[in-house]
Amino acid sequence: MIKTTSMLIQQYNTYANPAAKIARMVKSGDLVPIIKGLYETDRSIPGHYLAGIIYGPSYLSFEFALAWHGLIPEAVYAFTSATCGKKRKKQYSTPFGVFTYRDIPTPAFPYGTRLYEENGYGFVISSAEKAVCDYLYTCSPCANRKELRQLLFDDLRIDKEAFRNIDVYEMMALAGLYHTANHKLLISLLKEIKRHG
C-alpha cells in the first residue's frame, strides 16, 4: 500500500518521534522509499502501479505501452509515461525500477487512455494508438512516409500485423491533435493502409 510521509506521521502520532519510527520501518524493510515523501509497504508490487503516483498528472505510454499492447517485441525495463505542461523530461530511479516522464501537447493529453484496476491499485495507460502518437511526438521529423515506415517498423520494430489491427480512425483522430510533421505523415500512412488493407 502506498503511504505518504504525512499519512505515516498521522498514523504514528502517538509516538514521541514519528519520524524516527518511519526511519526504523525503512531500515527494517517494512517501508520501501519510492521518492521523497512517498513509500510503499509491499516491495513486490509491479512498478507500473506506481507510475502515475510518482509524478503527475501522467499516464503510462511510449515504449512501455507499446510493449503492453503487443506492438513491439522487446521487453521494456523502464516505466515510460506521458505528461503535459512540464516542459522537461523527468526521470526517477527507484527500488521498483526507472520511471521516465516526457511531455506531449496539452490538447492531446486527455484522450486515448484507460484506467485499469488491479490488486487494489489503479493505473492509467494509453491505448496502442495513443502510444504510437505519443512516441512519434518525441522523434525527430521524418522527411516522408518511407522514413516514417522505417522509424516505426525497422527502428522501433512495431509488428506490422499488430499495426494493421489497430483502430485506424482512432489513430487518425489522435494524430490530428499533435500538429507535427510526423503526425501528418502518420495520417497519410494510415490513409494508405486503409485504402490497400
- Number of other CB atoms surrounding residue 182 within 10 Å: 22
pLDDT given at position 151: 97
Task: List, run by run, the mean pLDDT of 10-residue segments along the chain (197 residues).
Answer: 94 93 95 96 96 97 97 91 94 97 98 96 97 98 97 95 92 97 96 79
pLDDT given at position 122: 95
pLDDT given at position 197: 58
- What is the C-alpha separation between 116 and 140, in angstroms, rounded? 32
CB neighbour burial string for 80-104, b if at least 16 within 10 angstroms, e if fewer: bbbbbeeeeeeebebebeebbbbbb
Residue position matching grid coordinates 480512425? 169
- The verdict on whether omega for the bond into residue 95 sits within 30 degrees of 0, i.e. cis, is no
pLDDT given at position 193: 82
Sign of CA dihedral 7, 13, 15, 19: positive
